[in-house]
Amino acid sequence: MVDVSEKSGTQRIAIASGVLRMQPETLLRIQAGEIAKGAVLTVADVAAVMAAKRTAELIPMCHTLPLSGIEVSYHEMTGPDADGCVGLEASVTVRCMGQTGVEMEALCAVSIALLTVYDMCKAIDKSMYIAYVRLEEKRGGKNGNWRREELQHHKTSAPKERS
């Protein structure tokens, strides 16, 4: 594990996102609250928060961080793809005042949120798949700020980066 004891604490923010592709009927049932296991996005919110808080237990070289805020949001992506699947995008913002960044916490949280939705809907849609889990932005720290440059809102092509 990297020694960060000499680094000063600064405000750290990371935003990660990912997409769960599914049949249109599955998304409609999620939105209508018609999934047998319960309120899908509410459960996924809790799972994301739990994952961010436990990242250091899951990723061996991560530091335990005093997280000060975790925000989870979802939105439907426009139009079906070539296979007729629609997308549900999850986005997680993680904040802390610390000596190292919170990128892994944001990535872990968005991954677990999407896996939770998958778990809750797998009985009705075996074709679901997760795509584009990635860091969108990070702020703070020695290396400063970084933001992913979006090519297209629906994220069908390879990501382009800028520093």
pLDDT string in tens for the chain (163-residue length): 787 877 778 899 999 999 999 999 999 999 999 999 999 999 999 999 999 999 999 999 999 999 999 999 999 987 788 888 999 999 999 999 988 889 999 999 999 999 999 999 999 999 999 999 999 999 998 888 999 986 544 444 434 333 3
Domains and CATH numbers, the chain: 12-141 (3.30.70.640)
76 vs 79: CA distance, rounded Å: 9
Q: Is 102 exposed, middle or buried (0-12, 13-18, 19+ CB in 10 A)?
A: buried
Neighbours of 153 (CB within 10 A): 9
Whether 119 is a known active-site residue: answer: yes
Catalytic residue among 3, 45, 81, 119: 119
